Structure 1
Amino acid sequence: MSSKLKLGVPKGSLQDATIALFKKSGWKISVSGRSYFPTIDDDTIECSLCRAQEMARNVENGTMDVGLTGKDWIAEYGSDVHVVSDLIYSKVSAKPARWVIAVSHDSPVKKLEDLEGKKISTELVGYTKRYFQERGINVDVEFSWGATEAKVVAGLADAIVEITETESTIKAHGLRIIHELMQTNTQLIANKEAWKNPEKRAKIEQMAMLLQGALVAEKLSGLKMNVPADSVDKIVSMLPCLKGPTVSHLYNSDWFAVESVVETSVVRDIIPALKAAGAQGIIEYSLNKVI
């Protein structure tokens, strides 16, 4: 067994987001030209690009020790891998994506049972077949090579099973969602033999911790401010921090320095309120990792 950890980087839509996440986590991955073997600034890791749909299979058979792929593709092939960590991130939102069944807006189909004997187009063939078989509904499931939403419009299928985050593409094609099959998000997975190797497991656990820390940090911001003594209690009570804010005396002054970490989504509302309560010199700063 190679002493280096073989890391699979998902090629395609998740590639840029994955490389950016690793950068925040402390690793610089560089992809050059059409090479399938990116470089990484860590002598204990070697990288390969791999489609997310094939990642679980390659991790399962040992071609790669660890990789990132969707929960959906693990379910599609029933891959026997060790799930190290859920990593909820995407290009559009921080919510899990959904695999849904959609039909044309004017279709008489209202529920799953109405699809009896109908044709369904999808990239998620294996999972879709099992889903309907378990419910005793006979359908014809065909593989779609792309542009799946257009299959119903073109009359090539009665329904589609497609992944969506915002539903915008589905609605743009005049389709209507009738059922959700599953929710999916990115997962860090490991080969089971590699997981048994103490050296590789330690590296994988380090990777999982730092990736999760970077993801948590994306939703948080740091705040620093100067506060007069008579406003400290009021301002501290206004800060929705992780634990308690850091409060310390300013040198040779009756003012205090207050520092806290808050959700980025509340910053635009809380800064004006803090200023109105007496805080001055308010600084917002971004975070790389929160462990």
Structure 2
Amino acid sequence: MLRIALTKGRVEKKFIPLLQRCNIDCQPLIDKQRRLIINLGDQYQIILVKGEDVCTYLRKGAVDLGVVGSDVLEEQGADEQVNELLDLNTGRCQFIVASKSDFDWNQPRRKVIGTKYPNVARRWFASQGEDVEIIKIAGSVELAPLTGLADAIVDLTETGTTLRVNHLVVHDWLDVITSRLVANPVALKQKRDEIFTLTNQLRQAMEEEYDEDLRKVTE
């Protein structure tokens, strides 16, 4: 049985249709109620966790596979600790730098940046040749420039609606974020056949979904 750490919430909801396209009965997952460990037949066991914890479960060998947003992988620097198998191309959003419209980006003083992703923010500003002060925020990052806590934010956006409602404007676009299938390196050796069977099924399901969408556009 493959044990899969699946990020709860948006990533989970986008992943279920892909599993269903692989002819995997996901009803136990859909009807999970408050359960956090769900068996899908005798082949897969889903463990629902927060995105930030997926790589911890993988590194410690508690699970074989993980489904997590690439924002988490980038923030945790997890590329050297887990093996990325597949870009699932779901949960698509983008890192952005945003501020109030009247903020002067050319002022000489050290900028203060609010973010849930301090490592991502620090690396990006360093690539721009800027040393900034980073304030880590767990809640609504958009509040930081509105209250004067920070000059700008680094955050994720899907539609930009929250930014617009809060009168913030995008200064720059960073990486595009999608959900990824990642593996514990040890499990990748010990359960190679099972892991790559599922990976190939998911890849085929993605291709079929793309073909269907293309047909709808051309009809």
CA distance in 2, matches of 1:187, 1:59: 14
Identity %: 25
Letter of the aligned partner of 1:216 in structure 2?
A: E
Residues 57 and 181 of structure 1: is their aligned pair in 2 closer, same or farther, counting only changes over 3 Å? farther
Residue aligned with 2:37, SS: coil
CA distance in 2, matches of 1:105, 1:28: 49
Contact residue 52 and residue 73 of structure 1 kept, 8 A? yes
CA distance in 1, matches of 2:94, 2:13: 21
In the TM superposition, what is the alpha-carbon distance from 1:73 to its structure 2 partner?
Answer: 1.1
Contact residue 116 and residue 137 of structure 1 kept, 8 A? no
CA distance in 2, matches of 1:12, 1:156: 29
Q: Which residue pairs with 1:38 in the alignment?
A: 38
Q: Look at both structures and tell me which one has the larger radius of gyration over its CA atoms.
A: 1
Q: Which residue pairs with 1:6 in the alignment?
A: 3
Q: Which residue pairs with 1:218 in the alignment?
A: 209
How many pairs were matched up? 214
Residue aligned with 1:14, SS: helix
1:18 to 15, 36, 39: 15
Q: Does 1:54 align with 2:57?
A: no
Letter of the aligned partner of 1:97 in structure 2?
A: C
Taking the TM superposition and a 5 Å limit, the aligned residue runs for 1:29-178 are 29=26, 30-31=28-29, 32-41=32-41, 43-79=42-78, 80-90=81-91, 96-109=92-105, 117-178=110-171
CA distance in 2, matches of 1:14, 1:186: 7
Q: Does 1:192 align with 2:144?
A: no
Letter of the aligned partner of 2:50 in structure 1?
A: R
Instruction: Give TM-score, length-normalised by structure 2.
Output: 0.88
Structure 2: gaps spanning 5 or more residues: none
In the TM superposition, what is the alpha-carbon distance from 1:135 to its structure 2 partner?
Answer: 4.3
Instruction: Give TM-score, length-normalised by structure 1.
Output: 0.68
Q: Which residue pairs with 2:200 in the alignment?
A: 209
Structure 1: gaps spanning 5 or more residues: 91-95, 223-261, 268-291
RMSD: 2.1
Residues 116 and 24 of structure 1: is their aligned pair in 2 closer, same or farther, counting only changes over 3 Å? farther
Letter of the aligned partner of 1:72 in structure 2?
A: D
In the TM superposition, what is the alpha-carbon distance from 1:98 to its structure 2 partner?
Answer: 1.2
Q: Looking at secondary structure, tell me which structure has more helix per residue.
A: 2
